[in-house]
């Protein structure tokens, strides 16, 4: 079952608190298991392009069921490039998103953009830990 709006809001708030704790302004996006938007925020001071990147990272994590960091090595492969073209170039194969699992199934993913790649992933994991 996809992530509920209530759970997405909980994830966003916890991730935002984590970002504030480390002093970075980020965008945070929660998508369902198809990569469709559930909820997203852009913190004050986060760059204008970070919402699209956080969504693209989350879409990649939801699509493949693994953290976006594990996809970076394969991002340039013909198969991944073709999949990204099929998705209108919206998938972002860069560290900063983690899947949301229920048992063995994927419910969605949370993606973050605006900090370093490691900060983004840590913030995403902090959000995920809240549900």
Identify the band that residue 104 occupies on the pLDDT scale cut at 50, 70 and 90: confident
pTM: 0.95
Domain residue limits, the chain:
5-129
User: What are the distances in angstroms from CA 41 to CA 7, 25, 36, 95?
Assistant: 14, 11, 15, 19
Q: What's the pLDDT tens digit per position in 56-102? A: 999 999 999 999 999 988 888 999 999 899 999 999 999 999 999 98
Q: Residue 88 gets which letter from DSSP? A: T
pLDDT given at position 28: 98
- Which CATH superfamily includes the segment(s) 5-129? Haem-degrading domain (3.30.450.150)
Determine contact, residues 15/124, Cβ cutoff 8 Å.
Answer: yes
Nearest 5°: the CA angle 81, 94, 89 is 35
Determine contact, residues 59/91, Cβ cutoff 8 Å.
Answer: yes
* pLDDT beyond 80 at 5: yes
* pLDDT beyond 80 at 12: yes
């Amino acid at each position: 079952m996809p992530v509920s709006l209530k759970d997405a809001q909980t994830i966003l708030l916890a991730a935002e608190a984590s970002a504030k704790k480390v002093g970075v302004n980020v965008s945070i996006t929660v998508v369902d298991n198809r990569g469709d938007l559930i909820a997203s925020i852009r913190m004050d001071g986060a760059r204008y392009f970070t919402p699209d990147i956080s969504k693209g990272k989350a879409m990649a994590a939801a699509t493949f069921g693994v953290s976006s960091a594990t996809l970076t090595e394969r991002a340039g492969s013909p198969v991944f490039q073709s999949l990204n073209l099929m998705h209108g170039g919206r998938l972002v194969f860069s560290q900063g998103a983690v899947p949301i699992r229920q048992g063995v199934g994927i419910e969605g993913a949370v993606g973050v953009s605006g900090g370093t790649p490691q900060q983004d992933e840590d913030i995403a994991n902090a959000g995920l830990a809240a549900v």
